[in-house]
Every structure is written in C-alpha cells, then in structure tokens.
Amino acid sequence: MKDDTGEIFTLEEVAAYLKVGKRTVYRLAAARKIPAFKVGGTWRFARADIDNWIKQQSFVDQGVNNPDPPKEGR
C-alpha cells in the first residue's frame, strides 16, 4: 500500500477530492480557510493537511468546538 501522507495536491485535485468546484477551493485558500501554500503563484495543498482539515470541519459541524451553545431565553 502506498503512503500518501506526503502527497501534494493541485487546486484541481483538491476540488475533485472534496467534490466541489475549483473556484470554491480557490476562495477558501485565498481566505485562509483551508490549509494551502503557493508555489510560483499557484496554490498547492498537502494531503495530510486537507485530511486533518476535513476532520476538524466535522467536529465543528457537530458542535465539538462549542460545547456550551447559547441558552434559549437569556
């Protein structure tokens, strides 16, 4: 089995991996909302960073980062 942890994705590859548009990935990268870096003016993404980012987004969606949501009626 190949070790993919050091793999580097292009913008197009990340878009396909996340099943979103290239423009969406570009906007996320430009806004620093997804881990990315530039090489010669083009965005690159480390697969391990993207996989960790996906896990973090899942935790945020489940409210793990906000264990005490605001109470109703206060």
User: What does residue 42 show for φ and ψ, rounded to 5 degrees?
Assistant: -115, 145
pLDDT at 3 over 80: no
Q: Which residue has the higher pLDDT, 9 or 73?
A: 9
The token pair at 14 is 């990340």
pLDDT tens track for 25-62: 999 999 999 999 999 999 999 999 999 999 998 877 77
Which pLDDT score, from 0 to 100, does residue 2 have? 59
Model pTM score? 0.74
5 close to 47: Cβ distance less than 8 angstroms? yes
Q: Which of 63, 56, 53 lies closest to 18 in space, CA to CA? A: 53
Contact 15, 50 (CB under 8 A): no
- Which two tokens mark 27? 């906007």
Question: What is the C-alpha to C-alpha distance for residues 49 and 23, in angstroms, rounded to an integer?
Answer: 19
Say which residue, 32 or 73, is predicted with more confidence.
32
